[in-house]
Amino acid sequence: MNKKRTLGKLRSAILTACLPLLLSMTACSDQERLDYLQLDSMETEESAESREIASAEDETSDPASESRMTSDSRENEDSSFVESTDSSSGENTDSSSGSGEDPETSSHDEHTEFDPYYEESTEYYFQEPESYPAPENWRELYPHGSAEKLDGTIAVISIFANDLYCKWDYEDRKDRSTYSRVYNNLKIACDYLTTESAKYEKDVTFVWDWLDHPELYYEVEVNTDLTKALTNYSVTDQMVWECIEKNIDSENIRRTLEADSVIYMVYVDAPETNDGPCCTRNFYYGMPYPYEIVYLQMINRSEKTPPSVFAHEMLHTFGAPDIYWTDIYANYRLEYGITKEYAKKAADNELNDIMRITWNVNTGRYQYYSISPEITDITAYYVGLIDESETVKKWGFDRSQHDK
């Protein structure tokens, strides 16, 4: 049941509802979230083209790390791969530099006078923690997890996460600017995936805007280090899975929105010193819950996470494999039998596929207001946009999870 509360009552309710793994989860008002999104007033005055030019001049050519969790042969959870690639060769790199963006400008002052968390007149909607377990037959309903093919209607649930070390502080202008960047990145990523899918004659609709759909927005606090989601995935996944079951009525959201797939996006307000990469808990056989989760560190090695990384990680939930090679794969193998030889050839030929690179193939730099890599036939096949791929046939790779 949703109860309308003032700030003081909300905090009291949260304290009494504390759980070992989940300390709080709230759904904020539309006005509060709109205030955050309006902070960056300069963005409404500049054209997308001029912003791209400014970003290209300020960015260095060494992109930050991005990565994912995956499974060996998609049958167990023991394989974890790090995606950390150089802008020119696809080799892994240990350094990256700042983006050159300056989110803090004097034009924000008019918006920062209102503190939504401290205004007595601000009202919140708080949902008492209940229990929303997945259906007992979820493996029959969702044989590849909460995200199936890249097709139909896809609900995107946003979770702003506090952990043991990283906290979202909406009194801080920088954090509010990061909040705004999450919103913009998600919009760009969803628009990009919709456009790329249309090239394969697929009609894809993302329902993601938490201003229109407040049931898609949550705040959560967990007792772990989310920047280590890749290396500490067994603990992190379990905590977030349980958190989802206890607080998010996924089945009702799926029914209400008539969604074919659901993705859970976890945003971490990581510090500039963070070297933990973005990663994805995609489906593997034997997974105890159906929920597929994208962990997004909003900064990595001083590099701000661009919308292309959002799109790259979201594609993993639909079955897309990485198609590049880094040193960590020496101990494992790429999914679907993709070989080091193919990854090297793709890099040599500068394959402009978003599962190989997340930066502009011509400049080697991230773009913050658009996405330039494409979805080529190999990725299209593995996410279910097409039924066969000439690349997969030629190289003898394994069949897609959607083609079994």
pLDDT value of position 364: 94
What is the rounded CA–CA span in Å between residue 399 and residue 336?
A: 7
Tell the residue number behind the tokens 């040193």, with chain if given.
Answer: 327
Spatial neighbors of 170 by CB under 8 A, at least 6 apart, are 36, 115, 116, 117, 176, 179
pLDDT value of position 232: 92
Does residue 401 lie in a domain region?
A: no
Does residue 266 lie in a domain region?
A: yes
Spatial neighbors of 173 by CB under 8 A, at least 6 apart, are 39, 103, 104, 108, 112
Helix (H) or strand (E) holding 193: helix 173-198
Q: What is the dihedral of CA 61, 66, 71, 74, to 10 degrees?
A: -70
Closest CA to 189 of 101, 336, 294: 294
> How many other C-beta atoms can be found within 10 angstroms of the C-beta atom of residue 128?
11
Does residue 200 lie in a domain region?
A: yes
Task: Give the total number of structural domains in the chain.
Answer: 1
> How many other C-beta atoms can be found within 10 angstroms of the C-beta atom of residue 288?
10
Does residue 174 lie in a domain region?
A: yes
Does residue 400 lie in a domain region?
A: no
In the structure encoding, which two tokens stand for residue 241, read together? 């899975």
pLDDT value of position 328: 62
Does residue 111 lie in a domain region?
A: yes
In the structure encoding, which two tokens stand for residue 264, read together? 């859970």
Question: Domain limits at 329?
Answer: 2-395
pLDDT value of position 332: 62
| β-bridge partners, 219 | 160
For residues 367 and 360, the answer to whether their CB atoms sit within 8 Å is yes
For residues 208 and 259, the answer to whether their CB atoms sit within 8 Å is no
What is the rounded CA–CA span in Å between residue 194 and residue 189?
A: 9
**Opening angle at CA 394, ends 389 and 397, nearest 5:** 75
pLDDT tens digits in sequence order for the chain, 404 residues long: 333 333 333 333 333 333 333 334 444 555 555 555 554 434 444 444 444 544 444 443 333 334 444 433 333 443 333 343 333 333 333 333 333 333 333 333 333 333 333 333 334 334 455 789 999 999 999 999 999 999 999 999 999 999 999 999 999 999 999 999 999 999 999 999 999 999 999 999 999 999 999 999 999 999 999 999 999 999 999 999 999 999 999 999 999 999 999 999 999 999 999 999 999 999 999 999 999 999 999 999 999 999 999 999 999 999 999 999 877 656 566 899 998 899 999 999 999 999 999 999 999 999 999 999 999 999 999 999 999 999 999 999 999 999 86
Q: What is the pTM of this model?
A: 0.75
Dihedral sign computed on CA atoms, order 94, 100, 106, 109: negative
Closest CA to 302 of 59, 88, 104: 59
Does residue 348 lie in a domain region?
A: yes
Does residue 152 lie in a domain region?
A: yes
